[in-house]
Amino acid sequence: MELMGRALRMTVFVDDTDTWHHRPLYTEIVHRTHGAGLAGASVFRGVEGFGASSTVHTTRLLSMADDLPTAVVIVDEEDRIRAFLPQLDELAIEGLVTLEEFRWCTTWGRRP
């Protein structure tokens, strides 16, 4: 499948300790995106951040860091991303979800 042109990037920000049925929430999101046949999803763990609670969570402290920011980045065509949104509603995510338009090209050196 060649991916070119306009698309949508959805980023779901959660804590790395958030769970859904005893497994990491970010894992559930990735498995649901895969099951929905979306083009791709990746999980990125942050080393420091804060959100609605205004508490800074960091790996720099001597104690074990918990509740680190984690971002699940999902990409596909806009209609497919928007059709997937109800699955996120089922998960009752307390984090932030952003949608951003972008242009993609899967071949290095080619311009869309």
Hey, where are the domains in the chain? Answer: 4-48+68-105
Ordered per-residue pLDDT tens for the chain, 112 residues = 556 678 999 999 998 889 999 999 999 999 999 999 999 999 998 877 777 766 766 666 555 556 778 999 999 999 999 999 999 999 988 889 999 999 876 655 545 4
Copy the structure tokens of residue 63.
């104690």
Q: List, as one string, the DSSP characters of 11-72.
A: EEEEETT-EETTEEHHHHHHHHHHHTT-SEEEEEE-SEE--TT---EES-SSSPP-S-EEEE
| pLDDT value at residue 64 | 55
Q: How far apart (Å, rounded) are the C-alpha atoms in residues 96 and 108?
A: 31
| Residue 13 dihedral angles phi and psi, to the nearest 5° | -100, 120
Q: How many Cα neighbours within 13 Å face the side chain of 27?
A: 9
Crossing angle for the helix pair 78-90 and 25-35, to the nearest 10 degrees: 140
| pLDDT value at residue 49 | 73
- CATH number of 4-48+68-105, picked from 3.40.1410.10, 3.30.70.120, 3.10.180.10, 3.40.50.300: 3.30.70.120
Name the pTM for this structure: 0.81
Q: How far apart (Å, rounded) are the C-alpha atoms in residues 77 and 99?
A: 12
